[in-house]
Chain A
Amino acid sequence: MIFRVLRLFLGAVFLYASYDKVLNPEAFAKAVYNYQILPDVAVNLAAIMLPWLELLLGVCLVVGVWLPGATLISTGLMTVFIGALAFNLMRGLDIHCGCFSTEATEGPADLWTVLRDAGFLAVSVWLTLEVFFFRRRPSDRSKAGTAAVR
């Protein structure tokens, strides 16, 4: 039950996060550039691809398919996001998060942004552990004949 609720929650977070970025590639590319972490040549490709990866992750988590892959990517992504935010906070770069909106109205990223993302990471890690260690093995699934929805 908790597993299901958290899976739906994290899926919804990814879907919501992808929405504005998919719609505004140019603004999101600017947000990625402003992080000043990726080399210039990689900025656009990352900005083009990331929202769609988030969208696919959101769909997997909400529907409950490909959970081993989806939870691992989600945990990896959240780790990278937190690292990038924390790195820029520490070096004092005033950046916009670009997490849920490409509009600057979201305000500059701060410690709360990192804590919020840390919360998402905790959920993601928990789901990953559940999928890999406490849930039914893939071999069980074929026997049960049901989808991975739990």
Chain B
Amino acid sequence: MIQDGKVLFKQALRQIFALVGLALLLSVGVNLWRSDGIPLVGDWSADARFSDDAGESLVVSLEEVRGLFERGDVLFVDARPESQYDEGHIQGALNLPFQEADGYFMDAADRLSAAGAIVTYCDGETCDLSHDLALFLKDMGMENVRVLVNGWTVWQEAGLPTEGGN
């Protein structure tokens, strides 16, 4: 009985190695062969994640955007849903929820076109809304569109002016 248990356990270990090895070989092989394969080691830096179609980084630093803000040269666009915008946002920011960007865009078009620089933001290091919105605005013909990564959080942490909420 004990012998049997040992045999079964050894058999299980062999199968685990075989399954994991087979999965590794198959997956890496297919990934190399397919046209939409991804690199084995990806570049997950902010500059790479928040880039435009040409691969250029859209990221703007807090320091730079702060300078623009103080000179009144920037229009912030909040990509989050209206409810979150209402709870608090960067002072003077326009709300353009990415999920309903098409609907909101027409109302905002004039202000967007008149802005020197447009900086989109949302909340969270991995939040994509700001990036998606920036690409959308570029598609709509806006120039000088950038992204402030994790914008709502870093702006507040820097003690910069906000409005809305309490």
Contact = CB atoms under 8 A, between A and B. Distances in A.
Interface string A41-81: 10111011101110111001000001011101100000000
Contacts of A137: 4, 7-8
Interface in A103-143: 132, 137-139
B19 A73 contact: yes
State the main secondary structure of chain A at its contact with B. Answer: helix
Contacts of A36: 125-126
B54 interface: no
19 contacts: A25-B37, A33-B42, A33-B126, A34-B126, A36-B126, A40-B44, A44-B40, A48-B31, A49-B24, A49-B27, A52-B23, A66-B15, A66-B18, A69-B16, A73-B19, A73-B20, A95-B126, A132-B9, A139-B4
Contacts of B161: none
Given A25-B37, A137-B7, A138-B4, A73 B26 contact: no
A26 B48 CA distance: 14
5 tightest A-B contacts by CB? A69-B15, A68-B12, A53-B23, A52-B27, A44-B42
B141 interface: no
A17 B28 CA distance: 19
B114 interface: no
* A47, A52, A93, A139 interface centre (most CB from chain B within 10 Å): A52
A138 B124 contact: no
B39 interface: yes
Interface in B12-64: 12-16, 18-20, 22-24, 26-28, 30-31, 36-42, 44-45
B166 interface: no
Contacts of A56: 19, 22-23, 26
Interface residues of B, number: 34
Given A56-B19, A69-B11, A137-B7, 20 more contacts: A25-B36, A29-B38, A33-B44, A44-B42, A45-B40, A48-B31, A48-B40, A52-B26, A52-B27, A53-B20, A53-B23, A53-B27, A55-B23, A57-B19, A68-B8, A68-B15, A69-B19, A73-B19, A93-B124, A138-B8
Range of interface residues on chain A?
Answer: 20 to 34
Contact of A70 (B9, B15, B28, B31): B15
Nearest to B24: A49
B11 A68 contact: yes
Contacts of B40: 44-45, 48
A49 B28 contact: yes
Nearest to B14: A69
Nearest to A59: B19
B83 to A, nearest CB: 14
Contacts of A73: 16, 19-20
Nearest to A38: B44
A138 B126 contact: no
Nearest to A35: B126
